[in-house]
Structure 1
Amino acid sequence: MVQFTTWATAFLVGLAAAAEYPPDVVDKLAESSLPKLKEYLEKNPQGSCTYETAVKRREWSNLSVQERKDYTDAVLCLMSKPALTSAQAPGAKSRFDDYVVIHIQQTPRNHGSTFFLPWHRYYVWHYENALRTECNYKGYQPYWNWDRYAKDPANSPLFDGSEGSMGGNGAKVTHQGIPIPGAPSPYNMIPPGSGGGCVTTGPFKNMSVNVGPLAPSLQTTRNPQSDGLGYNPRCLRRDVNKNAAAVTTANYTYDLITANKEIYWFQTVMEGQFPQGKWGVHAGGHYTVSGDPAGDFYVSPGDPMFWLHHTMIDRVWWIWQMQDLEKRLTQVSMTRTMNNFPPSANGTLDDLSGLGVLAEDVKVRELMSTMGGLGGKFCYVYD
């Protein structure tokens, strides 16, 4: 009876979400692209990884409240376990902090470079796996469909502060807005949202942000170390911002996928063309949360919302790849350093990408496919 009730509750929640959030153009494109994936897998079998056996990553509002709580409980569990990186980062106090440390250390290599998309795919999968293997989480990493909540993110199922949310907005604090480095006026400043202070509701209301900042978007306490890895405990702050969310609606994502046939332009438009005043959906999602640490380019994984945002980034890449799997599963571009600074050679599928002390280096080619990548450990699709 309990099992039936759980299934029935999940089913009813799914129906409610479907009624409240009908499929957008990106959802429809993903659905219409699945036959291409299935046909590819028929021609190119991936061992035990088939469409039927693949994990289905789901959108936040399609999870029941209990499933959402199971996820946030697992994140809190990760925050309670001792760090593996404390020898190199004195500020790291938990396994959750480990992932922030790795992002800080590897940001100059893994943004605006060959490694941006494949490295983050590895990073998110490894975090998902830690939740499952170390904190007994039975589900999989959920994603944040930006379009669903773009008109009013602060009052969405993500940020309403309920037990089924990812925590509330920050308390209202007066500030001038969120600066966007490298963008011309008037695109260099996002008007303030309705928060800016400490998060006081939801599962992360008592969370401690321990490392950083390095590139803060709001005034906050400085880290005792110049590399941002010293111990600097402070509250989680957010300024949930519909001005930033405006560039993450489905039309932007659909155009990103359909108008950019080569990986260079797909990634460039996604990450943002700041000199032209174009933030891209990547920056738009980060600045929708904003605050400290979400608005910090280096330390952003310190806000648990990072993981839902970057799972959506991976989903968008997955949909883009499905449009031409034969070509796009092997297509990389850009150089090996962020924005080619310092100048470096073009990256290749044989370059190594890893997670520092958390996971071994693997060739980029092992991170290109969600179906059979990483020696078969990647076996997932998006529902």
Structure 2
Amino acid sequence: MAGNAVVQAIVASLCLFSGSTTAWPFSKRQTLTTEDIQKQALANAYKVLDGTLKDGMTRSNTCTKDNIAVRKEYGDLSKDERKEYIRAVQCLLKEPSKLSATQYPGAKSRFDDFVVIHMNMTPSVHATANFLHWHRYYIWAYETALRNECKYKGYQPYWNWGKYQDLPNSPIFNGDEWSMGGNGEAVAHKGGFVGRQIPAGPGGGCVKTGPFANMTVHLGPLSSTMDPALKIPANPRRDGYGDNPRCLRRDVNNYFVTQFIRSTDLAQHITSNPTIGKFQDSLQQDTASKAAIHSAGHFSIWGDPGGDVYVSPSEPTFWLHHGQVDRHWWMWQNYVEAEVSKRTAMYEGGTNWMQPNSAKGKPTDIQLLNVLAPTGHKEVPSNQLFSTTAGPLCYVYQ
């Protein structure tokens, strides 16, 4: 595990956290919205499924329009569907860990298992060729665990970043029984420095409302971005794997959603990056004047562990955020009919975040999930994760 200096460097680098012949229904003079892009991406994905459009992937007949999973936005789920999702997440929080209690004493539940693996993999799955691909595999494994281990009947929902300009009062964070819990209690605190000074939001304290009120976080912190004056307890182990029981903190705010991840920002990002290298780099890398989309989503939630690059999956809404990361990529892959095959197979970047000159990633590179891997799908190569309707995957976004 990296020492303190490396960890600080990681925090800083994270925070720095088409003229085709296709039958395109919009003129070049029109500005595409994310709704336009979503509709066209879904239409093209179904064309791939029925064989009228090729994406270059080898597929069996197991994924069809009749059995494909449809992932939906959290606020579009019915109240019953939201409660069922909440129940399944709470189930994972109660199911025992499958990891070594000696090696990972802070892993108390199956939910914590997902955190440990993310902590282990962080240097190789951020700012690398497989950032999008590994996280696609990771989210699918989480969805599979919810369904197979907790009898969840639905699929992983996502948080559409551009949908809510008042995030603390959105269906995700408003603190009612159908939400993912409320904001943290309002406490006096400074904001944070994530490439620039960010003002404090309206929370900062422990979550005391909604289904995840009084949730206990065990792992980390390892790379906290919260105000030190809040005195969040340090982990008993330098690697962050010790048991460090504390409350779930949030500082849900509107700073990022009103400036950097509006629908117009998302559409512009999708339509202005023709290669996956530019797409994934600009998705992750902040500039001096603009927060990157990926980090803007994380820091709209912030808190502990949500603002920690290593242990952020301990935040229950991490999974909605990264569901949207995957959807954003999926839309980019699928919305231009004439480029679906080319974009699906694109793979660029290195293999280690901490080594700028690390070896280039290859489509055959094996992705690892340890005890999280769904049965029969351990050590999946990246090229099996290129498409959401080929390889082991079978889902689309609505």
Please, what TM-score do these two structures have when normalized by structure 2?
Answer: 0.85
Distance in 2 of aligned mates of 1:372 and 1:164 = 33
Partner of 1:313: 325
The answer on whether the counterparts of 1:46 and 1:371 sit within 8 Å (CA) in structure 2 is no
Residue 137 (structure 1) aligned to one of 152, 168, 175: 152
Residue aligned with 2:362, SS: coil
Partner of 1:111: 126
Q: Which amino acid aligns with 2:35?
A: D
Counterparts of residues 303-342 of structure 1 (less than 5 Å): 303-322=315-334, 323=336, 324-338=339-353, 341=355
Give the superposition deviation at 1:61: 1.1
Distance in 1 of aligned mates of 2:250 and 2:299 = 10
Per-residue Cα deviation, 1:165-211 (whole angstroms, up to 9, x for no partner): 0100000111110220xx2xxxx121111000000000000210000
Distance in 2 of aligned mates of 1:307 and 1:27 = 22
User: Which stretch shows the higher mean deviation, 215-224 or 158-167?
Assistant: 215-224
The answer on whether the counterparts of 2:45 and 2:396 sit within 8 Å (CA) in structure 1 is no
Distance in 1 of aligned mates of 2:119 and 2:70 = 29
Counterparts of residues 167-182 of structure 1 (less than 5 Å): 167-180=181-194
Residue aligned with 2:210, SS: coil
Distance in 2 of aligned mates of 1:286 and 1:224 = 25
Counterparts of residues 102-251 of structure 1 (less than 5 Å): 102-149=117-164, 151-180=165-194, 183=195, 188-218=196-226, 219=228, 220-246=232-258, 247-251=260-264
Distance in 1 of aligned mates of 2:124 and 2:355 = 10
User: Which stretch shows the higher mean deviation, 242-251 or 34-43?
Assistant: 34-43
Give the superposition deviation at 1:110: 0.2
Residue aligned with 1:288, SS: helix
Distance in 2 of aligned mates of 1:32 and 1:116 = 25
Partner of 1:370: 388
Partner of 1:101: 116
Q: Which amino acid aligns with 2:263?
A: A
Distance in 1 of aligned mates of 2:257 and 2:309 = 17
Partner of 2:88: 74
Residue 255 (structure 1) aligned to one of 257, 268, 271: 268
Partner of 1:19: none
Give the superposition deviation at 1:87: 3.9
Give the superposition deviation at 1:342: 5.4
Partner of 1:272: 285
State the 4+ residue runs in structure 1 displaced beyond 6 angstroms: none
The question of 1:36 aligning with 2:66 is answered no
Partner of 1:4: none
Higher RCO (C-alpha 8 Å, min separation 6): 2
- CA RMSD between the two structures: 1.4
Distance in 1 of aligned mates of 2:146 and 2:355 = 35
Distance in 1 of aligned mates of 2:45 and 2:157 = 21
The question of 1:63 aligning with 2:81 is answered no
Report the CA distance shift for 1:129/1:108 in structure 2 as closer, same or farther (over 3 A): same
Please, what TM-score do these two structures have when normalized by structure 1?
Answer: 0.88
Give the superposition deviation at 1:329: 1.4
Partner of 1:6: none
Give the superposition deviation at 1:248: 1.1
Distance in 2 of aligned mates of 1:269 and 1:191 = 23
Residue aligned with 2:205, SS: strand
Distance in 1 of aligned mates of 2:168 and 2:263 = 18
Distance in 1 of aligned mates of 2:359 and 2:396 = 32
The answer on whether the counterparts of 1:352 and 1:364 sit within 8 Å (CA) in structure 2 is yes
Quick check: which one's helix share is greater?
1
The answer on whether the counterparts of 1:60 and 1:158 sit within 8 Å (CA) in structure 2 is yes
Give the superposition deviation at 1:52: 3.8
Q: Which amino acid aligns with 2:86?
A: T
Give the superposition deviation at 1:88: 2.5
Distance in 1 of aligned mates of 2:186 and 2:132 = 34
Q: How many residues align?
A: 348
Distance in 2 of aligned mates of 1:352 and 1:237 = 35
The question of 1:90 aligning with 2:98 is answered no
The answer on whether the counterparts of 2:344 and 2:387 sit within 8 Å (CA) in structure 1 is yes
Distance in 2 of aligned mates of 1:170 and 1:211 = 19
Distance in 2 of aligned mates of 1:40 and 1:67 = 29
The answer on whether the counterparts of 1:178 and 1:190 sit within 8 Å (CA) in structure 2 is yes
Residue aligned with 2:157, SS: coil
Give the superposition deviation at 1:147: 1.1
Give the superposition deviation at 1:361: 1.5
Q: Which amino acid aligns with 1:371?
A: T
Q: Which amino acid aligns with 1:271?
A: Q
Give the superposition deviation at 1:32: 2.1
Distance in 2 of aligned mates of 1:279 and 1:90 = 35
Give the superposition deviation at 1:48: 2.1
- In structure 2, stretches of 5+ residues that fail to align are 1-31
Give me the identity figure in percent.
46
Distance in 2 of aligned mates of 1:33 and 1:66 = 28
- In structure 1, stretches of 5+ residues that fail to align are 1-23
Residue aligned with 2:241, SS: coil
User: Which stretch shows the higher mean deviation, 154-163 or 84-93?
Assistant: 84-93
